[in-house]
Amino acid sequence: MRWQDRRLDFAGLQRQYTQRRRAAEFAVTHPGHLVLFDVLESARGGDLRPPRLSTVSW
């Protein structure tokens, strides 16, 4: 993700990748950030985490 004026700037991120000749300059002046999310629950499947070991019958 790229931030501009305290907001996400997806268009700016796209420009950064389309102008390969200036990619190194953009990386210094307008750094991007990797944002990751865990998906722990879905609308259809409910809880996606594996069962606790204490509830598994061996």
Structure confidence by residue, pLDDT tens digits, 29-38: 877 778 788 8
Task: Decide if 13 contacts 2 (C-beta within 8 A).
Answer: yes
pLDDT for the residue numbered 17: 67
- Give per-residue pLDDT as tens, 3-18: 778 887 778 777 766 7
Domain ranges of the chain: 3-55
Percent helix, strand and coil across the chain, each rounded to 5? Answer: 40, 15, 50
Look at residue 8 in the predicted model and tell me its pLDDT.
79
Summarised one tens digit per residue, pLDDT across range 38-48 is 888 888 888 88
pLDDT of residue 20: 74
